[in-house]
């Protein structure tokens, strides 16, 4: 006799379908789900083996299961060979959940592979059409080796080493939570009544109001990460509610290569708790101008290219549709950096199209950062002759787009340098900044917190200013 487990999560009822042979796995899943329920603020957890929903002697268990199958919003299927061999699991539970998910948009069925198996075997016929779990994203999703290299894919629980079995269940529940949060209870309820979903700004609490921090012109930015890491840590504390949009200004030889180098050395990943995974890297090329090979015709074109950049960062798997790319990103745990490099000589019209497409994806996919981390680093490259402290032409044109990015994430981040005296000497020898460095230091000092007189950043800036004046 299969035994259901139901619980309330974010206004939903979850039904865990499994066979007796997989009872231990059901308990592992339950333990992880229970923690998720507490975190989401639910008041009750319903189980068949304990608590108020426990099946007692004399209970009509088939009626209880039928009622749960008719009222649950989310079905978790522990897929195994014994499960598909069970007539009740296959012909009653699986059939009912796939029928409901086909006819009711709000119902979600999530398969969890316990060992290697043929997903095509998990199917039923609904109104003459074959409906299979093979057509749905099953869990757990992790990096798997293929003939063309590692990529994100289905990695059954049995393939995880014993030392990481608990991690496997943690990943499963994290990916389940991502899917549930992506649905959004208010939006689902409205859709069921034929109403339009609430606006993005109303659906998600706004982040803290942080002003854009534009960095003065500095030639060497290789050690500007301490301040950025602090801000990233604060952002992590708020939860990954939105993709992080980081905006900086600088020169390509001083910004792009060194930022990418430092990020790929896992410093950002470690700060955000992804030290075991590293950082995937992608490049949004439509903004890497001037380039005659890349011309955008519309925001939709830019959106398509941005989504392709996401797919490239995710790995070599050729994901065909935007929804598949979105799902693949939602079920990964590895953080991803997309670098967007804007040259001062960029065509303003093309830049505007690119930003419309980029921000459109971030706004339409507000759930990207529930567990996977997406950092979109927008580097506005200033012309070599830009005066110290002067906003770049392109940055000024992008004020509206940057304001939109603030609405998407709640913060646009700049960074401050943490450089040693050797770096100061390198600056003084740089012909582009010799005449502007002292002024840069004055601007930098004016922007530092006045109540932190002993801060190493202030000490550095004062030494740099005095050393340059005396040179």
Q: Are residues 255 and 338 in the same domain?
A: yes
Domain end, chosen from 134, 169, 192, is at: 192
Average pLDDT rounded to a whole number, residues 288-313: 66
Give yes or no for residue 165 having a pLDDT over 70.
Answer: yes
DSSP letter at 214 equals P
pLDDT confidence of residue 83: 95
Query: Residue 212: inside a domain, yes or no?
Result: no
Higher pLDDT, 303 or 267: 303
| pLDDT exceeds 50 at position 409 | no
The per-residue pLDDT for 440 is: 57
* pLDDT for the residue 388: 52
Quote the number of domains for the chain. Answer: 3
pLDDT in the model for residue 166: 82
Do 177 and 283 belong together in one domain? no
pLDDT for residue 82 is more than 60: yes
Interval 340-362 mean pLDDT: 65
Same domain, 297 and 160: no
Q: What percent of the chain has pLDDT over 70?
A: 35
One domain, residues 181 and 258: no
pLDDT the model gives residue 308: 72
User: Residue 291 has what pLDDT?
Assistant: 44
The answer, yes or no, to whether residue 10 has pLDDT greater than 60, is: no
Max mean pLDDT among 80-89, 183-192, 226-235 falls in 80-89
Are residues 363 and 452 both part of a single domain? no
In-domain check, residue 355: yes
Q: Band the pLDDT of 250: cuts 50, 70, 90.
A: low
With 90 as the cut, is the pLDDT of residue 56 above it? no
| DSSP per residue, 11-80 | TEEEEEE--GGGHHHHHHHHHHHHHHHHHTT-S----SSSSTT---TT--HHHHHHHHHHH-SEEEEEE-
Q: Which tops the pLDDT comparison, 145 or 17?
A: 17
Residue 217 lies in a domain: no
Query: 171 and 27: one domain?
Result: yes
CA torsion, ordered 175, 181, 184, 185, to nearest 10 deg: 100
Q: How confident is the model at residue 87 (pLDDT cuts 50, 70, 90)?
A: very high
> Pick from 192, 208, 235: which residue ends a domain?
192
On whether both 241 and 326 belong to a single domain, the answer is yes
The confidence score (pLDDT) of residue 299 equals: 77
> Which range, of 1-10, 151-160, 167-176, 350-359, averages the lowest pLDDT?
1-10
* Residue 261 pLDDT exceeds 60: no
| Amino acid 97: pLDDT | 92
Residue 213 within a domain: no
More confident of the two residues 116 and 180: 116
DSSP-derived 3-state class of residue 441: helix
Domain-located, residue 198: no
Lowest mean pLDDT among 146-150, 281-285, 391-395, 445-449: 281-285
- Looking at residues 26-40, what average pLDDT do you find? 78
The gap from C-alpha 133 to its chain's centroid, in whole angstroms, comes to 25
- The C-alpha angle with vertex 463 and arms to 461 and 469, in degrees rounded to 5, equals 105
Query: 347 with 467, same domain?
Result: no
> What integer pLDDT is reported at residue 116 of this predicted model?
92
Lowest mean pLDDT among 147-161, 350-364, 414-428: 414-428
Residue 175's nearest CA partner among 21, 42, 372 is 372
Query: Residue 169 is inside which H or E element, if any?
Result: helix 165-183
**At residue 373, does pLDDT exceed 90?**
no
Predicted local distance difference test score (pLDDT) of residue 94? 95
Q: Which of 65-79, 128-142, 195-209 has the lowest mean pLDDT?
A: 195-209
> Same structural domain for residues 448 and 409?
no
Question: Does the pLDDT at position 123 exceed 70?
Answer: yes
Same domain, 29 and 143: yes
Strands 5-9 and 108-113: unpaired
Q: Is residue 188 part of a domain?
A: yes
Q: 98 pLDDT band (50/70/90 cuts)?
A: very high
Residues 69-85 have a mean pLDDT of 91
Token reading at 382: 């200033």
- More confidently predicted of 171 and 201: 171
**296 CB-contact burial (10 Å; exposed 0-12 / middle 13-18 / buried 19+):** buried
pLDDT of residue 234 exceeding 60: no
Question: Beta-carbon neighbour count of residue 105 at 10 Å?
Answer: 11
CATH of the domain at 371: 3.40.50
* Host domain of residue 454: 420-471
- Per-residue model confidence (pLDDT) at position 55: 54
CA–CA separation, 377 and 374 (whole Å): 10
Decide if 203 is inside a domain: no
Instruction: Assess whether 410 and 424 both reside in one domain.
Output: no
Classify residue 214: in a domain, yes or no: no
Cα 351 from Cα 400, distance rounded (Å): 12
In terms of domains, do 304 and 433 share one?
Answer: no
Average pLDDT, the chain: 62
For residues 206-232, average pLDDT: 37
Which of 123-127, 145-149, 221-225 shows the highest mean pLDDT? 123-127
What pLDDT, on a 0 to 100 scale, did the predictor assign at position 289? 36
Confidence band of 316 (pLDDT split at 50, 70, 90): very low
Considering only the C-alpha atoms of the chain, give the largest distance between any 2 of them, rounded to a whole number of Å: 92
């Amino acid at each position: 006799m299969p035994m259901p487990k139901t619980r309330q999560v974010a206004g939903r009822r979850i039904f865990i379908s499994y066979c007796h042979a997989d009872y231990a796995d059901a308990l592992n899943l339950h333990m992880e789900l229970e923690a998720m329920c507490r975190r989401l603020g639910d008041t009750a957890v319903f189980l068949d083996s304990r608590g108020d929903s426990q099946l007692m002697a004399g209970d009509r268990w088939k009626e209880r299961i039928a009622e749960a199958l008719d009222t649950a919003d989310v079905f978790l299927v522990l897929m195994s060979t014994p499960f598909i061999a069970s007539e009740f699991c296959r012909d009653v539970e699986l059939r009912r959940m796939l029928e409901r998910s086909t006819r009711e948009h709000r119902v979600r069925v999530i398969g969890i592979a316990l060992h290697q198996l043929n997903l095509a075997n998990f199917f039923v016929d609904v109104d003459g059409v074959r409906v299979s779990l093979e057509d749905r994203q099953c869990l757990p999703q992790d990096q798997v080796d293929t003939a063309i290299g590692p990529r994100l894919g289905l990695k059954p629980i049995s393939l995880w080493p014993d030392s990481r079995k608990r991690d496997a269940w943690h990943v499963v529940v994290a990916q389940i939570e991502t899917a549930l949060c992506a649905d959004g209870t208010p939006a689902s309820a409205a859709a069921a009544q034929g109403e339009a979903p609430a606006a993005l700004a109303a659906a998600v609490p706004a982040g803290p109001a942080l002003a854009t921090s534009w960095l003065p012109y500095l030639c060497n930015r290789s050690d500007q990460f301490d301040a950025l890491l602090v801000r990233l840590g604060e952002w992590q504390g708020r939860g990954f509610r939105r993709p992080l949009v980081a905006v900086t200004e600088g020169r390509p030889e001083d910004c792009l290569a060194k930022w990418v180098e430092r990020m790929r050395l896992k410093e950002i990943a470690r700060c955000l708790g992804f030290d075991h995974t590293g950082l995937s890297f992608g490049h949004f090329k439509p903004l890497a101008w001037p380039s005659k090979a890349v011309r955008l015709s519309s925001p939709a074109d830019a959106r398509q290219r941005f989504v392709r950049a996401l797919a490239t960062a995710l790995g070599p798997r050729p994901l065909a549709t935007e929804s598949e790319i979105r799902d693949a990103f939602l079920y990964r745990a590895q953080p991803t950096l997309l670098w967007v490099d804007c040259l001062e000589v960029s065509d303003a019209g093309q830049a505007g199209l690119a930003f419309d497409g980029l921000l459109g994806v971030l706004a339409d996919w507000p759930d990207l950062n529930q567990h996977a981390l997406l950092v979109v680093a927008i580097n506005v490259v200033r012309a070599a002759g830009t005066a110290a402290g002067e906003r770049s032409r392109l940055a000024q044109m992008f004020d509206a787009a940057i304001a939109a990015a603030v609405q998407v994430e709640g913060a646009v981040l700049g960074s401050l340098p943490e450089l040693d005296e050797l770096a100061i000497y390198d600056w003084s020898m740089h012909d582009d900044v010799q005449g502007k460095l002292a002024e840069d230091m004055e601007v930098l000092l004016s922007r530092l917190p006045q109540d932190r007189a002993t801060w190493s950043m202030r000490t550095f800036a004062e030494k740099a200013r005095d050393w340059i004046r005396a040179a």
